[in-house]
Amino acid sequence: MRIDLVTLFPELFTNFLATSFVGRAIERSILATRFQSPREFGLGKHLSVDDTPYGGGSGMLMRVDCLVSAMEALDAKAAAADEPKATRVLLTPQGRRFDQRAAIAYAERPALMLICGRYEGFDERVRAFVDEELSLGDFVMTGGEVAAMAVIEASVRLLPGVLGNEASTVEESHHPANDGLLEYAHYTRPVEFRGMRVPDVLQQGHHAQIAKWRREQALERTRTRRPDLPLPPPPPPPDKKRKKKA
């Protein structure tokens, strides 16, 4: 997988891309990254990439020409290296909300381009040059770099060979294979800590009972902690009809 980043501050990613499993993914050539600063296409003596908004208003807007030139420069580098063109993703609080399904979908794509805004925002015409718009949630940050790191971490951990136990990415919160439920409670040693004990069912080693307990825990947690999330339909009642004797 390749992730291209359009950002004015590539240095913000230095430690992030060298740390933990993201760093290991790069070391193992599972992940490759490429940066392009819009500043290289800035105007004037100071290579300006922003300007005042038409109609007035507070703040400065990133220019459409500088951003689009940065995107096209990354596409040109990919083409020169005979690499796939990246899906362009604009990070903006007006985009669709990022979730686990999106992370799974991104992990299956050969290349992503994450476009990080700054200042008050960007020229509206930038939207015409991207494939998707993405938001971390209903809040606003100064720039898109932190959001880009979240997208990278959530997606890269799903790539084959990145985590030691790939099954762990399925048995976790929001995964479609778990009906999108919140993950059940986990415990480890000690068995008792300040009056709080590990549930007996987890200590008995009965796999069917453990699976049933975990499913009930996931349903209850989702119901109480995230009532906005849909619950799966209940299983059909068991067939009480007895087979006729031959």
Place of tokens 């048995």: 171
pLDDT on residue 238: 75
Q: Tell me the pLDDT tens digit for each residue of 67-126.
A: 999 999 999 999 999 999 999 999 999 999 999 999 999 999 999 999 999 988 999 999
pTM, entire model: 0.89
- Give the rounded percent of residues in the chain with a pLDDT score beyond 90: 88
Q: What is the DSSP letter of 120?
A: T
**What pLDDT band is residue 22 in, cutting at 50, 70 and 90?**
very high
Q: What are the chain's domains?
A: 2-156 (3.40.1280.10), 170-225 (1.10.1270.20)
Q: Minimal CA–CA distance to 164: which of 4, 25, 55?
A: 25
Place of tokens 């992030």: 16
Q: Tell me the pLDDT tens digit for each residue of 150-160.
A: 999 999 999 99
Q: Minimal CA–CA distance to 34: which of 60, 61, 12, 2?
A: 2
Q: Mean of the per-residue pLDDT values for the chain?
A: 94
> Does residue 164 carry a pLDDT above 80?
no
> Does residue 167 carry a pLDDT above 80?
no
Q: Tell me the pLDDT tens digit for each residue of 25-60.
A: 999 999 999 999 999 999 999 999 999 999 999 899
Pairwise CA distance, residues 89 & 135, whole Å:
10
pLDDT on residue 235: 81
Helices (H), 87-206: 100-107, 145-156, 200-203
Three-state DSSP at 155 gives helix
**What pLDDT band is residue 237 in, cutting at 50, 70 and 90?**
confident
Q: Give CB contacts under 8 A, 24+ apart, made by 146-149.
A: 147/91, 147/98, 147/116, 148/5, 148/7, 148/13, 148/91, 148/114, 148/116, 149/13, 149/16
* Better-scored residue on pLDDT, 58 or 65: 65
Q: Minimal CA–CA distance to 113: which of 23, 50, 42, 35?
A: 35
Measured CA to CA in angstroms, residue 231 lies from 99, 100, 209, 216, 234 at distances of 17, 16, 21, 12, 9
